[in-house]
Amino acid sequence: MSEKIFAEYKDRLPNKILEDLKNHLPPKISAANLKEIFRLVDGEYQQAQVDPGESVGLVGAESIGEPGTQMTLNTFHFAGVAEMNVTTGLPRIIEILDGRKIPNTPMMEIYLKAPFSMGKDIKQIAQRIKETKLMEVISEFVINIAESTMEVRLNSEKMKALQLTVGQVIKVIDKNTKNCSVKKDKEEILLKMRGKHDTLNEIYKLKEKIKILYIRGIKGIQQVLPVKKENEFVIITAGTNLNEVFQLDFVDTARTISNNIHEIEEVLGVEAARQAIINEVYKVIENQGLNVDVRHIMLVADLMSKTGTVRGITRYGIVSGKSSVLARASFETPIKHVIEASLVGETDQLTSVVENVMLNQPVPVGTGLPGLVTRVKK
Amino acid sequence: MIIAKRDYMKKKIHITKHDLLPKHVKISEKEKKAILKKYQVTLKEMPKIMKADAALQGMKAEVGDMIKITRKSPTAGEAVYYRVVTDA
């Protein structure tokens, strides 16, 4: 009997409420009582829903905006144990909602698979992820002016830690330099310029060039920091590269995240980006000890991801997609929009709120939304 | 074991399971019609998803198809959302 009633309300009530009901009902309940409970719950639920025509955007804007005034304006602060600067507070929220391509402080949280998450080889893993430039394994440069040659002495300890051989380093240098010969000389590398003209100048240029050659790790990751989080080790990085990190076999691809929304969109799709926007904004608000309902943030995230790509709330983003000239002009750079619209002879259907406010007409919100149509007698 | 080769790094990876990623399912024409009727909208008015979207890889979704997305929601437990595949 009770199943039948449950089934009846399956489409009317969300799953969560149905489950809560199921868990809280007394084991023995008469059908009539159950029916009455459902009637009341359903009534409450329908009452709690937003009415058609409610200006949810405005309510959302105020609900995020007011606590926003209380947020710290500091761009940087030290985020607890992690010895890294992280953008938080208002600047971070602005950054997310503007849909910036690259965040001010790109970061990743890399979760690891079973044996490694308990701390096995954690140092090597961190080292493996960090982008290593040649500079870091070089102990010194010796430049011979008379013969215009350069000796590169390598730091053998660091080489060992990175599991690098001299041969591999020579290969990298050889691949990325022109007109110079690269030779191995015991544990050193000997570089000799070919050609005669101005070789000394060239050799200094070469020195700067090979310093920044890429040798190991994942491009774009400048810093790594293994941190113990609850019961497992997590690697926090400065700099992001989700695509390459996901290809490492010791990385838990289900939980590893980046704070770059556009990167998430590229690797995981818009839906994941939408969820990331919600999580990131909510994280900031929560960190500041403020209280904003998630629904407001969900609305913003839905709007930003509506077109299939993440677009920021800027005049180049979602505002540019508005159909009304006056609505676009009311946001930023009004003269530009008005001139462009007049050049192509754009028409404004006056279907939205802003343009009707401008023209002193009832806005299509709440009771202003429905129109009345009467059939005239012939 | 840990320091592996770099050759495979260039390719793009296709992740199917991630905490951020909700379930995407392509729905049939019949269901599509029912959805449009239920919400009284046209395809053009629906939220979009790119054909090249990472979540649609390996799904053979064509432009005009409707994708049912089952999100985990903190407010409703589970929320269903629909997007129409587009290529621009």
Each domain of chain A, given as residue ranges in start order, spans: 2-48, 55-105+259-321, 132-216, 324-368
- CA geometry: angle at B38 spanning B32 and B43, to 5°? 50
Which residues are paired to A20 by β-bridges? none
Q: Chain A residue closest to B24 (CA)?
A: A271
Q: Do A109 and A86 meet the contact criterion of CB atoms below 8 Å apart?
A: no
Residue B52's CATH number: 3.90.940.20
Q: Do A368 and A360 meet the contact criterion of CB atoms below 8 Å apart?
A: no
* Topology agreement, domain A132-216 and domain A324-368: no
Count of Cβ atoms closer than 10 Å to residue A279 Cβ: 17
* Per-residue pLDDT reduced to its tens digit, A77-118: 555 544 567 788 888 899 999 999 989 889 999 999 888 888
Q: Which of B15, B24, B74 sits opposite A246 (nearest CB)?
A: B15
Output the CA–CA distances (angstroms, integers) from residue A126 to A80, A90, A112, A294, B3, in the order listed.
20, 31, 11, 35, 11
Count of Cβ atoms closer than 10 Å to residue A212 Cβ: 10
- CA geometry: angle at B65 spanning B15 and B20, to 5°? 30
* Per-residue pLDDT reduced to its tens digit, A205-216: 888 888 888 888
Burial class (CB in 10 A: 0-12, 13-18, 19+), A202: middle
Q: Chain B residue closest to A128 (CA)?
A: B3
A132-216 maps to CATH 1.10.150.20: no
Task: Please report, as a single letter, which amino acid is at residue A359.
Answer: L
Contact call for A294 and B74, based on CB within 8 A: yes
User: Does A162 contact B at CB distance below 8 Å?
Assistant: yes
From A280, A313, A265, select the one nearest A60 (Cα to Cα): A313
Judging by DSSP bridges, how do beta strands A132-133 and A214-216 pair with one another?
antiparallel
Interface test with B, best of A268, A304, A309, A311 (most B CBs within 10 A): A268
> Cα separation of A143 and A208, whole Å?
13
Tell me which DSSP letter residue A303 carries.
H
Q: How far is B44 from chain A, CA to nearest CA, in Å?
A: 11
Q: Do A131 and A220 meet the contact criterion of CB atoms below 8 Å apart?
A: yes
Residue A26, helix vs strand vs coil: coil
Region class of A267: left (phi > 0), else alpha (psi between -120 and 50), else beta = alpha
| Topology adopted by domain A324-368 | DNA polymerase; domain 1 (1.10.150)
Judging contacts by C-beta atoms under 8 Å, the chain A residues touching residue B4 are: 248-249
> For residues A246-276, b (16+ Cβ closer than 10 Å) or e, as one string?
bbbebbbbeebbbbbbbbbbbbbbbbbbbbb
Judging contacts by C-beta atoms under 8 Å, the chain A residues touching residue B75 are: 16, 294-295, 298
Q: Do A238 and A221 meet the contact criterion of CB atoms below 8 Å apart?
A: yes
Residues 62-81 on B with a CB inside 8 Å of A are 69, 71, 73-79
Total structural domains within chain B: 1
> Cα separation of B37 and A53, whole Å?
20
Residues 106-145 on A with a CB inside 8 Å of B are 121, 124-125, 128
From A269, A266, A304, A276, select the one nearest A97 (Cα to Cα): A304
Interface test with B, best of A270, A298, A303 (most B CBs within 10 A): A270
User: Does A306 contact B at CB distance below 8 Å?
Assistant: yes
φ, ψ dihedrals at A142, nearest 5°: -120, 120
Residue B77 within a domain: yes
Q: Do A277 and A103 meet the contact criterion of CB atoms below 8 Å apart?
A: no
From A267, A269, A223, A262, select the one nearest A242 (Cα to Cα): A267
Q: How far is B64 from chain A, CA to nearest CA, in Å?
A: 13
Q: How far is A248 from chain B, CA to nearest CA, in Å?
A: 9
Query: Given CA atoms B69, B70, B71, B76 in this order, what sign does their dihedral have?
Result: positive
User: Does B83 contact A at CB distance below 8 Å?
Assistant: yes
Q: Which of B11, B20, B56 sits opposite A272 (nearest CB)?
A: B20
Q: What is the mean pLDDT of chain A?
A: 85
Task: Name the residue range of residue B78's domain.
Answer: 7-86
Burial class (CB in 10 A: 0-12, 13-18, 19+), A112: buried
Residue B33 within a domain: yes
Output the CA–CA distances (angstroms, integers) from residue A328 to A136, A194, A320, A337, in the order listed.
52, 62, 7, 7
Residue B15 within a domain: yes
User: CATH code for A55-105+259-321?
Assistant: 1.10.1790
Count of Cβ atoms closer than 10 Å to residue A59 Cβ: 15
Query: Given CA atoms B13, B16, B21, B26 in this order, what sign does their dihedral have?
Result: positive
Judging contacts by C-beta atoms under 8 Å, the chain A residues touching residue B69 are: 271
* Tens digits of pLDDT across chain A (378 residues): 677 778 888 878 888 888 888 888 888 888 888 889 889 999 999 998 898 889 999 999 999 989 888 887 655 555 554 456 778 888 889 999 999 998 988 999 999 988 888 877 888 888 888 888 888 888 888 888 777 778 888 888 888 777 777 888 888 887 877 777 777 777 777 777 766 666 677 778 888 888 888 888 888 888 888 888 888 899 989 889 988 888 888 899 999 999 999 999 999 999 999 999 999 999 999 988 889 999 999 999 999 999 999 999 988 888 888 888 999 999 888 999 999 999 999 999 898 899 999 999 999 998 888 888 898 887
User: Does A52 contact B at CB distance below 8 Å?
Assistant: no
ipTM above 0.90, yes or no: no
